[in-house]
Chain A
Amino acid sequence: MDYFALLELPKDFALDEDALHRAYIQKQREFHPDRLGKSSQEERARSMHLSVEVNQGYHVLKSPLLRAEYLLKLAGAEEQPPSQALLMESMEAREEVMDAQTPEVLSELEEKHRASLAQEYDAFAQHYSGAKLEEAAASALRLRYLHKLLDEIRVRCKLLAGRKENI
C-alpha cells in the first residue's frame, strides 16, 4: 500500500496540507500503540508497524521534494544522472554563494534561487500530470540541487553572522 492510499489522499503532486495533517492525526488515532488496550504480541507489532508507516508517510508527503521523488518512484521512473547543464548551473551558483561576503548579497541570492525553486515546482507538476516522466525526473533532480543550495546559503549566513560577532 502506498502512502497516499494509507492516508486516503488523492495520488497527486498537488496536496492540501490541512487535509494531510487531518489524515495523519486520524490515522495515528487509529494505529498508535497507545490506543491499544491490553492486546496480544501480534496486535502490538501490527499497531507499531502501521504507526511507523503513518509517520513515514506523513514525513514524505509533507515535503514537496520528497513527495515529488516518491511519485516518480511509484510511477517507475528511472533514475538519471544530472545533465551537463545542471552541473554547470549548480557549480556556478555555489561559487557565487562562497564568494558572498555580506548578508545582503546572500539574501539576494536566496531570493533568486527561491524564485527558481517555485518555477521548477510548477514545471514538475506540469510534467508529472502530463505523464512526461523523463522531464519530471529531470525537474525533481534540479529541485534537489536547488534545495541543497538554499541549505548552503543558510549555513553561510550563520557563518557570516558568527564572524561579525567575533569582531
Chain B
Amino acid sequence: MKLLQIHEPGQTPDPHEDAAAVGIDLGTTHSVVAIWHEGCPVAIESHIGSSIIPSVVAYQADGSVLVGQAARDAFLSGAEDAVASIKRIMGRSASEAKHLMPYLAETIGEVKEDSVPRIFTRSGPKTPVEISSDILKHLKAMAEEALGKEVREAVITVPAYFDDAARIATRDAARLAGLEVLRLINEPTAAALAYGLDTGAEGIYAIYDLGGGTFDISLLKLEGGVFQVLATAGDTALGGDDLDRLIADAFLDACKAQDCKELPSCGAGLAALLGKARAAKEALSESEEIRLSLRGAISDEAIQSKEESGFLRSARNDEFTLSRTQLAKLATPLIDRTLEICAGALEDAGLNATEVKGVVMVGGSTRLLAVRAAVERFFGKKPLLDIDPDRVVAYGAAIQAHQLTGGEEDHLLLDVVPLSLGLETMGDLAEKLIYRNTPIPVSASQEFTTYEAGQTGMQIHVVQGEREMASQCRSLARFELTGIPPMAPGGARIKVTFQVDADGLLTVSAEETTTGTRQKVEVKPSYGLPFDAIERMLQESMEHAREDITARLLVEARVEAQRLLKDLEAALAADASLLSPQEQQAIAEAAKSLKAALAGDDRDLIDAAQMALSHASASFAQKRMDKAIGQALKGSHIEEL
C-alpha cells in the first residue's frame, strides 16, 4: 500500500505528520484533552460523547484499569479500589498525603516520614505518579482513537501555584504514559490564552480559577498577542472538593444530632456521602433548596454492611435539607480565603482591584452563585462568564501545543515563578535566591562560605516557600558539595546557582569558585521518585500491560486502515481513469468491507479487510507508479538518462 503514496520529488512528508500534539488539562476532579483543529481548539469526546472525563481510576479484579465515568461510578458506589482526586497529593510526602486526603488514610498504609505515598489497590501499591499516568494513558488513547493518529506529545497544564515537586511529579506521570511534555503551562495562563485569543481582549485581566481541588488567581497583561503574567497566587489544597466535605460534615452533624452511633469517616460510606454532597451543591445552582438522603447513594451490599454499624439506621430516617443560603454560609470561609489570596496577588502586582479590566471565571466551582457574588463584590465588576469554565484550560493547552509544534500563531506567554526559591543557611534561615513572581526563565546566583576551619563538605538544602525559616518552607532537595579544599572559616567561596526553565522547573548547581569544584543537580524533590525508579516503572508498564498492548494494537490497526482509505480516496480522485470499471468495483467493494470492519472492535477483521483492500488496489498502485515515472521522464533530456 505504500506504493499509493507518491510524493512530488523534494516534498517528502514529515515523518511525524501523522502524530498529533494535544493539550491536556489534568484536573483534580475532571480532565479534558483538546487539539487544534482547523483554526480553533476542540475538546475530544469519549465514546460516550463526553469531553469532561472524571479523574478517577478504578483497578479491576482482572487487572484491567478503568478511568473516567465508569471509574467514578465505581468510586461512588463505594468500590475500594477506585481512587479519586489524586492530584491533591502529587509531589507530596506520605505524611502530607495522609493529612490532605484523610479518607485515603487506610489505603496509604504505614507512613514513613518523607516517603513516597503508596495507595494499596488490587493491582498492587500505586504511587500518585502512576495513578495520574493511568489517567493520562486513558486521555492519550481517547485522543488517538478520535484522531486516528498517534499522540506522542502534549502540553499539560498545572495549577500556577504548584511547587517544583508537584510539577516534576506531573512531568514524570506524562513520561510514564508515553507522552513527551512539550511544555508544562499554568492553568490560569492557559485559560487567559484561550480567552484572549477568542475575544481579542486587551488590558489587565484577572483569571479566578477555582477547580475541584485547587485555587489559583493570576493577573495578566494582555497586549498584542503577549500574555504577561504580572503576579500569581493560590492554594493547592482549596477547591470544590473541600466544600463537598463541608456539606458532608454538616450532614453528619445532623445525623449526630439524631443520636447516630457510628458515622463513616473513611471508605465507601464517606465516598458515597461526598458524591451526594456534590450533587446537592450542583443542584443548588438551579434550585433554591434541595433534599438529600443517603439512601440510593450506596449499593445494597454496602447498605447491609453499614446496617450493622448503626450508621444507616439513622441515615435512613434522615432527610437533610440544604438551601442556597445554607450552602453560601458553608462556603463563606472558603470563598473568603480565595479573596484574601486575590488581595495578596494584587499587592504583589502593584495593582488595585479597579485597575483590573475583567475577571475571567475558570473551573467548575465558579458555577457556585455565592462565588460569583463574592468575586463581583471584591473586584467591583461582574465576572466574565462567557467562556466554558470546564474546557477553557484544555483549549489554551491545545493552542500552545499547536504553536510549539510549528503552528503559525504569533502569541507569547510570559509566566512567573509562583513561590520563592531559596537555600537553608545557618540557624534554619531560608535565604531566597529567586523571589515569587519573578518572570521565567530565570537564573540567580549567590555566594556562601564555610564556617568551620578545614570544612571540606557543605550541605545544600533547597527550599521553596515564603516563610523565613527553612523548616517551614517546602523541602525540595538536599545534596552535598564535597571536595572543598580545607581553608580557614570563611575562606572558601561557594557559588550556588538556581535556574528555572520555561516549564517552571528548577535546576541547582554549586561551585567552589577558588578551585572550581563543581556539582550540578537536577532538583528531585525529597518525596519524588528517583530517576531510576521512573525508568523501572516505564519498563514494568511495558512488560505487564497486556491490555494496553491489545488496545494499542487495535488503535494502530485503525490508524493504518484509515490512512489506507484516505490515500486511496485521494488516488481515485486523481487517477480513477487508469482503472477499468471492474477494477474500480473490486476496489470499492474491498473498501466497503474495510469500513464495515472499522465500525467494530475486532482487530483481526480490520487487518484482514485491510490486506484485502491492499491486494485489490495493488495493480492500481503499480499503474499510478508507472504513470508518475512516465511523467517524470517526459521532462528529462535524453542525455541525462
Contacts and interface: CB of A to CB of B under 8 A. Distances in A.
Interface of A: 25, 28-29, 32-35, 37-38, 48, 51-52, 55-56, 58-59
16 contacts: A25-B223, A25-B226, A28-B226, A28-B414, A29-B226, A33-B502, A34-B183, A34-B400, A34-B412, A51-B441, A52-B499, A55-B439, A55-B440, A55-B441, A56-B442, A58-B439
A29 B225 CA distance: 10
A28 B442 contact: no
Nearest to A35: B412
Size band of the interface chain B makes with A: 20 to 34
B33 to A, nearest CB: 21
Contacts of A32: 412, 414, 502
Interface string B432-445: 00000011111100
B196 to A, nearest CB: 15
Q: Interface of chain A, helix or strand or loop or mixed?
A: helix
A64 to B, nearest CB: 14
Interface of B: 183, 223-224, 226, 228, 400, 403-406, 412-414, 438-443, 499, 501-502
A112 B223 CA distance: 37
Contacts of A29: 226, 412
B403 A48 contact: no
Given A34-B413, A37-B406, A48 B502 contact: yes
A48 B412 contact: no
Nearest to B182: A34
Contacts of B226: 25, 28-29
Given A25-B226, A51-B441, A52-B441, 4 more contacts: A33-B502, A34-B400, A34-B404, A55-B438
Contacts, number: 47
A47 to B, nearest CB: 9
Contacts of B442: 52, 55-56
Question: Across chains A and B, which 9 residue pairs bring their CB atoms closest together, nearest first?
Answer: A33-B502, A55-B439, A52-B443, A52-B441, A37-B406, A51-B441, A25-B226, A48-B441, A55-B442
Given A32-B502, A34-B183, A34-B502, A59 B414 contact: no
A48 B499 CA distance: 10
B401 to A, nearest CB: 11
Contacts of B224: 25
Contacts of B183: 34
B437 to A, nearest CB: 11
Nearest to B228: A25
B333 to A, nearest CB: 17
Contact of B501 (A35, A37, A48): A48
Contacts of A38: 406
Contacts of B413: 34
